[in-house]
Amino acid sequence: MLTPRQLFLRHQAQTSDFPLLLEIERAEGVFMYGPDGRPYLDLISGIGVSNVGHRHPRVLEAIQHQLDKYLHLMVYGELVQAPPAELAHALHQTLPARLDSVYFTNSGTEAVEGALKLAKRHTGRTGLVSCHRAYHGSTQGALSVTGSEDFKRSYRPLLPDVQHIEFNDLTGLQLITEHTAAVIVETVQGEAGVRVPEAGYLTALRQRCTAVGALLILDEIQCGFGRTGTFWAFEQFGIEPDILLTAKGMGGGMPIGAFIAPQEIMAGFKSNPILGHLTTFGGHPVSCAAALATLRVIQEEQLLAGVTEKAALFRRLMRHPAIREVRGCGLLMAVEFDSFAVLKPIIDRALAQEGILTDWFLFCDNSLRLAPPLTITHAEIEQACVALLRAVSFVTGQEQGAA
Ligand code: PMP
Sheet holding 127-131, edge to edge: 101-105, 257-261, 243-246, 215-219, 180-186, 127-131, 162-165
Q: What is the pTM of this model?
A: 0.98
Shared domain check, 275 and 186: yes
CA distance 279 to 262: 20
Query: Which numbered atom of ligand 1 lies nearest the CA of 47?
Result: 8
Q: What's the pLDDT band for 94 if we cut at 50, 70, 90?
A: very high
What value does the mean pLDDT of the chain take? 97
Shared domain check, 218 and 103: yes
Give percent helix, percent strand, percent coil of the chain, each to the nearest 5: 40, 15, 40
Read off the pLDDT of each residue in 91-109 and give the average, rounded to a whole number. 98
> How many independent structural domains does the chain possess?
2
Shared domain check, 242 and 93: yes
Q: Which of 275, 300, 325 is the last residue of a domain?
A: 300
- Ligand 1, atom 13, residue with closest C-alpha: 108
> What pLDDT does residue 284 have?
98
**Residue 321 Cα, ligand 1 centroid: separation in angstroms?**
33
Read off the pLDDT of each residue in 28-32 and give the average, rounded to a whole number. 98
Q: Summarize pLDDT for 285-308 with one digit per residue, the tens.
A: 999 999 999 999 999 999 999 999
CA distance 67 to 50: 21
**Residue 398 Cα, ligand 1 centroid: separation in angstroms?**
36
Give SS3 for 313: helix
On whether residue 42 sits in a domain, the answer given is yes
Query: Which numbered atom of ligand 1 lies nearest the CA of 109?
Result: 16
On whether residue 403 sits in a domain, the answer given is no
Q: Summarize pLDDT for 243-302 with one digit per residue, the tens.
A: 999 999 999 999 999 999 999 999 999 999 999 999 999 999 999 999 999 999 999 999
CA distance 39 to 30: 10
Shared domain check, 152 and 76: yes
Domain residue limits at 133: 57-300
CA distance 372 to 369: 9
> What pLDDT does residue 402 have?
55
% the chain with pLDDT above 90: 99
- Going 98 to 101 to 106 to 112, the CA torsion angle's sign is negative
pLDDT at 403 over 70: no
Shared domain check, 182 and 80: yes
Ligand 1 lining (C-beta closer than 6 Å)? 107-109, 112, 135-137, 186, 190-191, 219, 221-222, 247-248
- Ligand 1, atom 1, residue with closest C-alpha: 136
Shared domain check, 269 and 222: yes
Shared domain check, 120 and 38: no
CA distance 297 to 320: 35
> What pLDDT does residue 385 have?
98
**Residue 190 Cα, ligand 1 centroid: separation in angstroms?**
9
pLDDT at 360 over 80: yes
Query: Which numbered atom of ligand 1 lies nearest the CA of 137?
Result: 11
**Residue 288 Cα, ligand 1 centroid: separation in angstroms?**
18
CA distance 170 to 204: 8
Q: Summarize pLDDT for 366-402 with one digit per residue, the tens.
A: 999 999 999 999 999 999 999 999 999 999 999 887 5
Shared domain check, 188 and 115: yes
CATH at 344: 3.90.1150.10
CATH at 72: 3.40.640.10
Residue whose CB lies within 8 A of the most ligand 1 atoms, among 191, 221, 232, 245, for a mutation test: 221
